[in-house]
Amino acid sequence: MKLAEVFYKENFSEIKWSPQAVLIADQYFKAYFKNNKFKVPFDTSKIIWVAAGEGLKKFESLDPIINKLVQLGGVVDIYALGGGSVGDAIGFLASVYKRGVKLIHIPSTWLAAVDSSHGGKTALNVGELKNQLGSFYPSAETWIVKELLSSDLVEKARGEFFKTLLLNHNQSWAQEFVVANQTLDQNLLWSLLPTLIDFKSKIVISDPYETKGTRVILNLGHTLGHVLELECALAHGEAVEQGLLRILKISLEKAYLSPENYKKFLKIFQKNKIEFREFSIFKDQAELCLKNDKKISKKNEILTTYINNQSYLTSWTPVEELLEAF
Ligand SMILES: NC(=O)c1ccc[n+]([C@@H]2O[C@H](COP(=O)([O-])OP(=O)(O)OC[C@H]3O[C@@H](n4cnc5c(N)ncnc54)[C@H](O)[C@@H]3O)[C@@H](O)[C@H]2O)c1
């Protein structure tokens, strides 16, 4: 698998478009194109607007987009502008349209810039269950444009940021963040983006199709987070934060993590206004969600990543044990 070339730019006008470009974009940006804040060097009939969100990650939502692509005809390079939902859904579409066309990601949320536009995972939901359909289809290019990334959305990327921080807590950039008791803001996140993306890329390249058990660490906090996302209608970012807090607690209970380190991490979460929240969930639904996790074994155990005093470890964990986390 070859991962995308990543370009970091200040302005939208710096993006390079291919002659075959078709832009599939979050309709949030319609107004920006209408008032010429953002422009493309091709006819606007080659822009397809979509409504972002989990609803876009449904098989049937792709139908009208496919029809528009067919009407346009010819060879297309698909540029996907939007957050993680647009990247996941349009990435999937690009991977199967005419058996795969060139895909270019332009992430417009911090979450997508940090995490979802790298690594080549595309995804659609099935019913209420997340990411049940998908493919491995990395973009050829990813354009990270600072002007697109709103400071209001930094909060939604905190989960993925803290995931990477915990996995790297022995690295100097992470230690500095923890020791200085820092708060994540737009400038810090922009300056750390290459570090965060490089880390993810190295892990993905070591296990591109998630068959060797190394890529699984990128799901730290996600297995439990996805249950909360589904059951309690939390946004992906907040669900991951809550999943991480639970994984830290279990890491302490299993004595992987010392009480000192646990307290140190809890303090930095609190400093960033991430508090442990209690939820009442239906155990049956949570169990169904866990049993549909892609990392489940025939023995109903899920390959789970925990944090230890050095870095992290993975261990097969029974579904019943994970249910206790709620
Ligand atoms: N493929 C992967 O590796 C991967 C990794 C992490 C998350 N994800 C997926 O990403 C999705 C969550 O990502 P997301 O939060 O970016 O979702 P999203 O695409 O739903 O965007 C969230 C909201 O932000 C709005 N928005 C987009 N850009 C904006 C901007 N610049 N300013 C203001 N508003 C803007 C959207 O219209 C939407 O309302 C989930 O579906 C999750 O499963 C995928």
Any idea what the CATH number is for the domain that residue 314 is in?
A: 1.20.1090.10
**pLDDT exceeding 90 applies to what percent of the chain?**
95
Q: Are 254 and 218 within one domain?
A: yes
* Residues 164 and 218 placed together within one structural domain of the fold: yes
CB of 148 shorter than 6 A to ligand 1: yes
Query: Is the pLDDT score of 180 beyond 90?
Result: yes
User: 288 is written with which tokens?
Assistant: 């169904």
Do 122 and 231 lie in one domain? The reply is no
Is residue 80's pLDDT more than 90? yes
Region 228-249: mean pLDDT is 95
- Asked whether residue 89 falls in the same domain as residue 160, the answer is no
Please tell me the total number of residues recorded for the chain in this structure.
326
Determine the atom of ligand 1 nearest the C-alpha atom of 130.
43
pLDDT in the model for residue 257: 98
User: What is the average per-residue pLDDT within 208-218?
Assistant: 94
pLDDT at site 59: 96
Nearest atom of ligand 1 to the alpha carbon of 56 = 20
The string of pLDDT tens digits covering residues 100-156 is 999 999 999 999 999 999 999 999 999 988 899 999 999 999 999 999 999 889 999
Interatomic CA distance for residues 237 and 225, integer angstroms: 9
Q: Among 104, 130, 149, give the residue marking a domain's end.
A: 149
Minimum CA distance residue for ligand 1 atom 36: 52
Domain that holds residue 104: 5-149
163 shares its domain with 301: yes
Give the mean pLDDT of 224-237: 92
Question: Last residue of a domain, which of 132, 149, 166?
Answer: 149
Please tell me whether residues 196 and 136 are part of one structural domain.
no
Determine if ligand 1 sits within 6 Å of the CB of residue 28: yes
Ligand 1 atom nearest the C-alpha of 237 is 15
Residue with tokens 């023995």: 299
- Tell me, what CATH number does 123's domain have? 3.40.50.1970
DSSP SS3 for 2: coil
Tell me, yes or no, whether 36 and 179 share the same domain. Answer: no
**Considering only CA atoms, which residue is closest to atom 10 of ligand 1?**
84
Q: Which of 3, 11, 28 to mutate to test the pocket of ligand 1 (most atoms within 8 A of CB)?
A: 28
pLDDT at 128: 83
What average pLDDT does the chain have? 96
- Give the pLDDT band of residue 294 (cuts 50, 70, 90): confident
Atom 44, ligand 1: residue with shortest CA distance = 116
Q: Which amino acid is at 147?
A: E
Regarding whether 313 and 258 lie in a shared domain, the answer is: yes
Residues 90 and 139 in one domain: yes
Same domain, 222 and 239: yes
Q: In terms of domains, do 57 and 166 share one?
A: no
Residue 284 Cα to ligand 1 midpoint, Å, equals 28
Statement to judge: residues 186 and 286 lie in one domain: yes
Alpha carbons 245 and 326: distance in angstroms, whole number: 11
User: Tell me: the pLDDT tens digits for 181-197?
Assistant: 999 999 999 999 999 99
Ligand 1 atom nearest to 110, measured from its CA: 16
SS3 assignment, position 187: helix
Best residue among 85, 162, 189, 215 to mutate for probing ligand 1's pocket (most ligand atoms within 8 Å of CB) is 85
Give 72's DSSP letter.
Answer: H
SS3 state of residue 151: helix
Does ligand 1 lie within 6 Å of residue 85's CB atom? yes
Average the pLDDT over 239-265 and give the result.
97
Ligand 1 centroid – CA 181 distance (Å): 27
Pick the last residue of a domain from 149, 170, 191. Answer: 149
| pTM of the predicted model as reported, rounded to 2 decimal places | 0.94
Q: How many structural domains compose the chain? A: 2
Residue 54 C-alpha to ligand 1 middle, in angstroms?
9
The finding on whether 120 has its CB within 6 A of some atom of ligand 1 is no
Residue 49: is it exposed, middle or buried by C-beta count within 10 angstroms (0-12/13-18/19+)? Answer: middle
